Structure 1
C-alpha cells in the first residue's frame, strides 16, 4: 500500500525515537534511585500492601505476580539499560520484529511501575510517556518508512495534550480568561526553577501577553497539526518554542520535554532517504489494527474534552493506551510550604533546638536559590507542594515520612538535600509548620540576598515521636 508510508519523515522518526528513549532513561533512573523509600517493602506506600488490595485486572503489573525490592530494582535498571540501548540506536541494527519487541520492553516495564506507583506516580506525564511509548513500538525502524497512521496518532496525542490543557484553563480559573494568571503562576507553581524569580518579576503587560500567547498555542494552533505542510511543521515549531519557554520558567518533570518530542514527527525534517522497501504485510496489518483500536478508544477523551465537567490527567484503561491531559486549570494566588523540623530534646518546646530538613527541589531556606531538576522528577518534593495546598493530599504517606525521619531511615534521607541529624543520632521529635512564601522584590534581594520571604502561618503537625521503640521488621 503506497499510502501507508511517509518517506519524507525518516529523520523526524529518528529524532523522535532517540529523544523518547532519552526520556525513558530519565524516567527509569528516577524510579531506580527513589523507589525504596517511596514504594519499597519498607516504603511509605509499600507495593506489597497495594497489590494485596488491588486486583491484576485493575492494575496489570509484573509486581502483581511477585514483589521484592531487588526484583523492582532489577526491572528499573533493566529499563534504564534497554532505553539506553534504544538511545544508542540498537533498534536500527535489528530486524523489524525484533526492534518492535525491544521498544515493547521499556513500555511494559514502566507500565508495571506506574500501575503500582499509587500517589507517587499519579502525574499526567506518566500516562503521557506510556501512551507515547506504546505508539513508538509500531513506528518501525530503518527497514520500513514511517507509517502514516502512526505519525497521525502521535499528532493526535499532541493535539489532546495542548487542546485539553487549553480547554481546562478556559473552563477553570477566571484569571486565565482575564489574562492575569501569570501574575501568580511563576511564584506559586509546584517547583520553581532558577529563572522563575525573574519570570515572576516581568512587567504585568508582558504576563498578559504570555497568557494570550498560551491560549493561541493551545486552543488554535493544535488544529494546524493536521494541515498540509509546511503549515503542520510551523504549528509544531511554535509548540516547541512555547514548551522551551516553559522549560526556562520552571521544573515540570519531563512534561515539557515529552511535548517537544511529540511535536518532532510533525516536522518535515530534510532527509536524503528514498521511499525505502515496501513494508511487510504482517507489519501493515498489525499497525492498522492497533490504529483502529486506539481511534476507537479515543472517544472517551474526546467526550471528556467536550464535557463541561472536563477532568485533567485521567487514564481510561489500565494499559494507559489513550488518556486525557491538562494542567493548571486553577492557579494558586498564595504559595504555602510545609517546613519539616526535628529536635533531639526529650521534651519539645517552642524554644527547643529545632533543626530544619532541607529538600532538594522544594523551597526551604529563603536564601537558597531554586535549582533546575527537570526532566528528572523529584516525586517527594512535588507531593510536598500538594500537601501544602491541603492535608488531604498528604494522606497516609506524610505520617510514614515523619516516622522514617524519626528513625533516620537511610533510604528516606537520600530523597532529601540534607538532614540536620547525623547517622546514629535521630531526632526524638519531628514537627511540621506551614509558611507562606513569596518571591522577594528587587530591593529585598539586593538588601538580603534572599530570593524568598516567608511568614509563619500555623502548625501543620504537632511535635511527634515514635510510638514504639522496637525497630520495624
Structure 2
C-alpha cells in the first residue's frame, strides 16, 4: 500500500516522538517527587483509599493489583528510565515491534498514575500526554516511513486541542468576544511566570490584538491543517509560534510544549529544509503487513471514539477537558472558557504561640510557584508541574475545590510532615511544628511601574477574609495517619 507511507515526514515524526518522550520523562519525575504527600500511603488523598472505593474497571491501573509507596516509586523510576532511553534514540535502534512495545509501556505506566491521581491529576494535559503517547507508538520508528493514517490522527488531535479551545472561549466569557480578556488574564492566570508582569502592562490595544490573533489561530488556522502542503505546514508553524508566546507569558505545565510537538508532526521535511539545514533522511524499509493492519485497526478505533468529542465541539454546552473513556483516548480539550477578573490567593500561616490573642505573631509558609511574597518575581517552572500550587489557585477561587484535601494539608503542616514540606519553598518552623495554623484569603494585584521601581514589589495585596480558622493538631488529628511520627510535633495546649 504505497499510500500508507509518508517518508517526507520523517523529521516531524522524530521531533514529535522525542518531545513526547521528554514530557513523559518530566511527568514521571514530577510524580516521583510529589506523590508521597499527595497520594501516597500517608498522603492527603491516599491511593489505597481510592482503590478500595473505585473498582479496576472504572479506573484501570496497575495499582489496583498492589499499592505501596515503594511500588509507586518503582513505576515512576521505570517510566522515567524508559522515557529517557526513548528520548536518547533507543526506539530507533531496536526492531519496530520493540519500539512500539516501549511506547505502549510508557502509556500504561503513566495511565496507571493518572487513573489513581484523583484531583491532583485532573488536568487536560494529562489526557493529552496519554493520547499523544499512545499515537506515538503507532508512528513506528526509523525503520519504517511514517504511516499516513496516524499522521492524520495527530492532526485531528491538534485540531481538537486548538479549535476546542477557541470555541470554548467565544461561547464562554463575554471578554473573549469584546477582546478584553487579556486585560485580566496575565494577572489572574493560575501561575504567572517571570514575564507575566510585563505582559500584563502591555497597552490595551495590544491586548486586544493578542485576543484577536488568538481567535484567528484557534478558530481559522486549525482548519488549514487538513489542506495540502505547504499550507498545512504553515498553519502548524503559526500554531507553534503562538504556543511559544504562551510559554513566555505563563506557566501551563507541558500543555504548550505538547501542542508544539503535535504541530511539528504536521510539518513536512521540505518545508523545514527551506528554513533550516536538514540532515540526510534515513532509508526506511517497507512497513510489515502486521504493522499496517494494526495501524488501520487503531485508525478505525479512533474514528469510532471521535463521535463524542466531535459532538462536543458542535454542542452549545461544550465541555472542557473531558475524557469519554477510562483509557484517556480521543478526548475533548479546551482552556480558559472564562477569565477571572480578580486574583485571590490563600496565604497559609502558622504560629508557635500557645494562646491566641491580638499580639500573636504569624509566619507565612512560602510556596514554590504560586504568588506569596510581594517582592518575589514569579518563576518559570513549566513544563514541570507543581500540582499543589495549581490546586491552591483553584482553592482560592472557591473552598469547594479544596474541600477534599485542604484540611489534610493543614494537618500535615501541624506535624511538620517532611513529604508535605518538600512541596513548599520555605517552612517558617524548621525546628518544631507550629501550635496553630490558619489560612487567610487575600486579593493580589500586580504593582505598577512606579511601585516596582520604588519598592521592588511585584505584587500588592489586600486582606479579604479568613479562609480557614486557626486550628491545632488536636482539631485535625483524625486527618493525619497514625503512622506519622509523633515526635515530629509539639504538644498543643491541653495535650499530655
Offset from partner CA, 1:371-401 (integer Å, 9 cap, x none): 0000000000000000000000002200000
2:447 pairs with 1:437: no
Superposed displacement of residue 274, structure 1: 6.8
- The 5 A counterparts of 1:447-466 are 447-466=454-473
2:371 pairs with 1:363: yes
2:176 pairs with 1:176: yes
Whole-Å Cα distance in 1 between the matches of residues 171 and 439 of structure 2?
Answer: 35
2:285 pairs with 1:277: yes
2:453 pairs with 1:446: yes
Whole-Å Cα distance in 2 between the matches of residues 119 and 142 of structure 1?
Answer: 38
Superposed displacement of residue 472, structure 1: 1.9
SS at match of 1:24: helix
Aligned to 2:387: 379
Identify which of 287, 291, 296 aligns with 1:288: 296
Count of matched residue positions in the alignment of Structure 1 and Structure 2: 472
Offset from partner CA, 1:256-291 (integer Å, 9 cap, x none): 000000001111124643773211000000000011
Offset from partner CA, 1:102-137 (integer Å, 9 cap, x none): 111111000000000000000000000000000001
SS at match of 1:267: coil
SS at match of 1:314: coil
Whole-Å Cα distance in 2 between the matches of residues 455 and 277 of structure 1?
Answer: 66
Offset from partner CA, 1:392-411 (integer Å, 9 cap, x none): 00022000000000010000
2:327 pairs with 1:313: no
Superposed displacement of residue 142, structure 1: 1.4
2:165 pairs with 1:155: no
- The 5 A counterparts of 1:72-111 are 72-111=72-111
Q: Which runs of 5+ in 2 are unaligned?
A: 484-496
Whole-Å Cα distance in 2 between the matches of residues 48 and 387 of structure 1?
Answer: 24
Superposed displacement of residue 467, structure 1: 2.0
Contact 2:348/2:364, CA 8 A, preserved across alignment: yes
SS at match of 1:432: strand
Q: Which moved more, 1:364-373 or 1:272-281?
A: 272-281
Q: Which runs of 5+ in 1 are unaligned?
A: none
User: Residues 227, 458 of structure 1: CA spacing in aligned structure 2 closer, same or farther, 3 A cutoff?
Assistant: same
Aligned to 1:472: 482
Aligned to 2:418: 410
Contact 2:143/2:283, CA 8 A, preserved across alignment: no
SS at match of 2:58: coil
Superposed displacement of residue 11, structure 1: 1.1
Q: Which moved more, 1:291-300 or 1:271-280?
A: 271-280
Offset from partner CA, 1:33-92 (integer Å, 9 cap, x none): 000000000000000000001011110000011000000000001110000000000011
Contact 2:25/2:79, CA 8 A, preserved across alignment: yes
RMSD: 1.1
SS at match of 1:407: coil
2:340 pairs with 1:341: no
Superposed displacement of residue 348, structure 1: 2.0
- The 5 A counterparts of 1:115-154 are 115-154=115-154
Aligned to 1:209: 209
Offset from partner CA, 1:303-326 (integer Å, 9 cap, x none): 011111101001000000110000
Whole-Å Cα distance in 1 between the matches of residues 438 and 335 of structure 2?
Answer: 32
User: Residues 205, 99 of structure 1: CA spacing in aligned structure 2 closer, same or farther, 3 A cutoff?
Assistant: same
SS at match of 1:190: coil
Whole-Å Cα distance in 2 between the matches of residues 153 and 143 of structure 1?
Answer: 21
Superposed displacement of residue 471, structure 1: 7.4
Whole-Å Cα distance in 1 between the matches of residues 298 and 304 of structure 2?
Answer: 10
Whole-Å Cα distance in 2 between the matches of residues 142 and 299 of structure 1?
Answer: 32
SS at match of 2:404: helix
Whole-Å Cα distance in 2 between the matches of residues 307 and 268 of structure 1?
Answer: 33
Superposed displacement of residue 350, structure 1: 4.0
- The 5 A counterparts of 1:42-57 are 42-57=42-57
Whole-Å Cα distance in 2 between the matches of residues 223 and 238 of structure 1?
Answer: 13
TM-score of the two chains, using structure 1 as the length reference: 0.98
Whole-Å Cα distance in 2 between the matches of residues 257 and 12 of structure 1?
Answer: 15
Aligned to 2:340: 332
Aligned to 1:199: 199
